[in-house]
Chain A
């Protein structure tokens, strides 16, 4: 299954999204939070994100969900330092982080490919609330 990494500024946001997403996931689905800094301040940490990407990968690739600004920059920076093969099968989704994460987890648990999970996550931006 494609692994999912959640990158948010608040560690609690990432953990909460993971808790929500797990409810929709097949057992064994990797959903790893990488929110906040190493000392749990608000922020993002490329080293933490890189470790989460490595932990989420089972060989099928990883989709990284991000919230704002530095989450994107830190996730991109993290990719510079991961193993090149893993980098090639990791994608950062251009998607709303909560809706995208739920959509991605459902598609990943259905056995979707990296590209399918990414596309599904990104199409979450079209989900209307009313």
Chain B
């Protein structure tokens, strides 16, 4: 039987591969033109590492493996940022055999807080947080209303998508795009975009496997 957590991460990796040029083009406009390339390199390394795990690997092990691999293979700032997100989520997942609503909210919160802490960033600086933080809030609100988890993920995706649109309206003050100052206006943030792609891939994955939640 395939490991559902591994399959979910692989779905994210496939989404990054599909969007490699798109992410790199967005990054070419306001950064160093490597975001798609870096994300794909990271998730391809992740696929190799996950393939070496025993099939019964638990969520914490899968998340930690993703974290350590992204941290050492991505190359750009998204490596330590996404890596820290997965690492903090892994700490929350430790000892958990299933993911219920409350656990999913804690995982998501730990991941977002990990990125805030690592990047010393807040919302409104034209970063992945402009997609991820509203997504987390929408997700947590959905869980609070006792909605099914896939529906909560749908809400999170919609919020992240609005977050991407929002990044077009602000000037970057963090990351490579901040070197461009006002010239970063009008462009959407590549990091916010890859965050949306990640959530969307997870959402699509859950829609395909309604009985299981990753």
Which of A46, A68, A80 has the most chain B CB atoms inside 10 A of its CB?
A46
B101 near A: Cβ within 8 Å? no
A43 near B: Cβ within 8 Å? yes
Binary contact readout A21-64 vs B (1 if CB under 8 angstroms, 0 otherwise): 00000000000000011100111111110000000000000000
Please tell me if the beta carbons of B71 and A37 are within 8 angstroms of each other in the complex: no
Q: In whole angstroms, how far apart are the Cα atoms of A36 and B87 in the complex?
A: 22
Please tell me if the beta carbons of B118 and A76 are within 8 angstroms of each other in the complex: yes
Chain B positions within 8 Å of A123 at CB level: none
Closest residue of B by beta carbon distance from A46: B71
Q: In whole angstroms, how far apart are the Cα atoms of A98 and B76 in the complex?
A: 21
**Known contacts A42-B34, A43-B38, A77-B118; is-contact A70 B72 (Cβ 8 Å):** no
Please tell me if the beta carbons of B77 and A73 are within 8 angstroms of each other in the complex: yes
Please tell me if the beta carbons of A38 and B72 are within 8 angstroms of each other in the complex: yes
Please tell me if the beta carbons of A70 and B79 are within 8 angstroms of each other in the complex: yes
A69 near B: Cβ within 8 Å? yes
- Number of residue pairs A-B, CB distance < 8 angstroms: 58
Chain A positions within 8 Å of B34 at CB level: 42-43
Taking chain B's interface residues, is the majority helix, strand, or loop, or is none over half, making it mixed?
A: helix
B142 near A: Cβ within 8 Å? no
Please tell me if the beta carbons of A43 and B71 are within 8 angstroms of each other in the complex: no
Q: Which of B72, B83, B87, B176 is within 8 Å of A69, CB to CB? A: B176
Please tell me if the beta carbons of A70 and B73 are within 8 angstroms of each other in the complex: no
Binary contact readout B72-89 vs A (1 if CB under 8 angstroms, 0 otherwise): 111111111101100100
Chain A positions within 8 Å of B76 at CB level: 43-44, 69-70
**Known contacts A46-B71, A47-B71; is-contact A68 B79 (Cβ 8 Å):** no
B119 near A: Cβ within 8 Å? yes
Q: In whole angstroms, how far apart are the Cα atoms of A8 and B77 in the complex?
A: 12
Please tell me if the beta carbons of B80 and A74 are within 8 angstroms of each other in the complex: yes
- A-B pairs with lowest CB-CB distance, top 10: A43-B75, A70-B77, A47-B72, A73-B80, A77-B80, A37-B75, A46-B71, A69-B77, A74-B80, A70-B76
In addition to A38-B72, A47-B72, A74-B79, 16 A-B residue pairs with Cβ atoms within 8 Å of each other are A36-B75, A42-B32, A42-B75, A43-B79, A45-B72, A45-B73, A45-B75, A46-B71, A46-B80, A47-B71, A70-B76, A70-B79, A73-B77, A73-B79, A74-B80, A77-B84
A sample of 29 inter-chain contacts (CB < 8 A) reads A36-B75, A37-B73, A41-B75, A42-B34, A43-B34, A43-B38, A43-B79, A44-B79, A45-B72, A45-B79, A46-B72, A46-B80, A47-B71, A47-B72, A69-B76, A69-B77, A69-B175, A70-B76, A70-B77, A73-B79, A73-B81, A73-B118, A74-B71, A76-B80, A76-B118, A77-B71, A77-B83, A77-B118, A80-B87
